[in-house]
Amino acid sequence: MRYAMAIDTLKCVGCSDCVVACQMENDVPIGFCRDWVTETVDGSYPNVEIELRSERCNHCDNSPCVRCCPTGASHIEDGGIVLVTHNKCIGCGACIQACPYDARYSHPEGYVDKCTFCIHRVRKGENPACVAVCPTKCMYFGDLEDPNSEITNVLKNRKFKSLAPEAGTNPQIFYLI
């Protein structure tokens, strides 16, 4: 099993519904977020191109945050989901330094927190909260090792990219372009 996410940048309108859904679902403290939306503008008027991306932890295959964790609090769950065990985390900040995507933050309670791919929902067979609420249905979540899953098909037929692959992390969030 290899969970991954594909996000269609051509369908995304940047409404930030995914961000709010995640904050509600996961009780993210005010002022923090596990996912966020960026807008990249290329060119100048009248030749302007805008790319909207809903970003979050890339659940990397070669995850530098897991490698540098001194206690093993950051670990990889079944399906490649990168998680933090709160009562093993000492809050040293090494994983925050190690993440090229700045996807982790220090929770006000002390431990480090991040996107979990809503593992509590995924285990029940549901989609992560951000995927479930997306009004344009621009996000696909699923198992890359299942040849019949929607995400496998969409990645087979569309052009896509991942973020900063040169960082050597082998990220598992794919942006359809």
**Residue ranges that bind other proteins, judged by CB under 8 A:** 14, 16, 19, 31-33, 36-44, 52, 64, 67-73, 87-94, 96-100, 102, 105-106, 109-111, 163-164, 166-168
Q: Please state, as a whole number, how many other Cβ atoms lie within 10 Å of the Cβ of residue 98.
A: 17
Closest CA to 174 of 98, 60, 63: 60
CA distance 112 to 108: 9
Which of 33/142 has CB closer to other proteins?
33
CB of 106 to other proteins, least distance (A): 5
CB of 111 to other proteins, least distance (A): 5
Beta bridge partners of residue 61, listed in sequence order: none
CB of 131 to other proteins, least distance (A): 16
CA distance 51 to 38: 8
Provide the 3-class DSSP secondary structure of residue 8.
strand
CB of 148 to other proteins, least distance (A): 31
Which of 32/123 has CB closer to other proteins?
32
